[in-house]
Amino acid sequence: MALVEMQDVVKDYSLGHTTIRALKGINLSVEAGEFTSIVGPSGCGKTTMLNLIGCIDRPSSGDIRFDGQTTSSFGDDAEADLRLAKIGFIFQSFNLVPVLSIAENIEIPMMLARRAKRERKIRVEELMDLVGLTEYAAHKPDELSGGQRQRVAIARALANEPRLVIADEPTANLDGATGQSVLDAMQALNEKKGVTFLFSTHDPRVMRYARRLVRLRDGEIEGEEVA
C-alpha cells in the first residue's frame, strides 16, 4: 500500500469572478521511504499539491489517501490530528515561532501531542544533536543563520516521528552552500532513518538530490524520472 495516493485530484481557486484550476486531475502515488521532488516552473501547482497531500488544504474533487485513510473527507480536527502524528512540514520561510527558543520550537509538536515532559526533553536533545545545533538550544530564531533556522525546522518536522516530511522549496531562501547542507541533512535522514521526503523545487541543483522527480506543468503531471 502506498503511503500517499492521489486519484483524479482537482483543485480550483476563486479569484473574484474568475476560477483558476490549479490542479487538473492529478494521479500520484508516493511509497514509504521515497525521496521525491515535485518540480516545475512557478505557478505550476507544486505548492498546491503539497498542501493537499499535507492536509492543509482540501481538493475540489478527487480522492487523497494517506496511509490507507481517505483524508479528503476529513474534518478540521481529524486533519490536525493526522498532521500532528504523521506529517512534518518544512517551509520555505522556516516559519519558526520568534518568541520561543530553538529547543522550544522543536518541542511544540510534542507538546501538542501531549507527550510527557521528560520524554519531550530527551527527544529534543536527540533532534538537536541530529541537526547539529545542540549548543544553540537556548537561542532565539533571529540569532541564527538561515541554514541553521532551516535545520531547526527540519528538527521540528521530525519531532513526532512522522511518516512523511513535506518541504515546500526548503532551500529557496538559502545560499548555495547552505542549501546544499540542508539537503544533505534531509538525504541522510531519508537514507538512515527511512523518513519519506516529498519536496518541491524549481532549482536544478536541488533536483539532483531526488531519487524520483515528478514533473508538473500547468496543474498536470507531465512526466516522471527515477534516478
Interface residues toward another protein, by CB under 8 A: 51, 54, 56-57, 76-77, 80-81, 83-85, 88-89, 91, 93, 95, 97-100, 104, 107-109, 111-113, 156-157, 160
Nearest distance from residue 91's CB to another protein, in Å?
7
Residues contacting residue 16 through CB under 8 Å, at least 6 positions apart: none
Residue with smaller CB distance to another protein, 69 or 184: 69
Nearer to another protein, 103 or 216 (CB): 103
Q: Report which of 90, 85, 86, 87 is spatially closest to residue 151, judged by C-alpha positions.
A: 90
Within a 13 Å sphere around the CA of 82, how many CA atoms are in the beta-carbon half?
Answer: 22
In contact, 187 and 196? CB cutoff 8 Å: no
Query: For residues 89 and 209, which CB has a smaller minimum distance to another protein in the complex?
Result: 89
Minimum CB separation from another protein for residue 200, in Å?
A: 14
Closer CB to another protein, 82 or 213, in the complex: 82
Q: How far is the CB of 190 from another protein (least distance, A)?
A: 20
Indicate the residue type of 27.
N
Q: How far apart are CA 28 and CA 59, in angstroms?
A: 14
DSSP structure string for 67-104: TTEEGGG--HHHHHHHHHHHEEEE-TT----TTS-HHH
What minimum distance in Å lies between the beta carbon of 95 and another protein? 4
CB of 225 to another protein, least distance (A): 28
d(CA 74, CA 102): 32
CB-nearer residue toward another protein: 157 or 213: 157
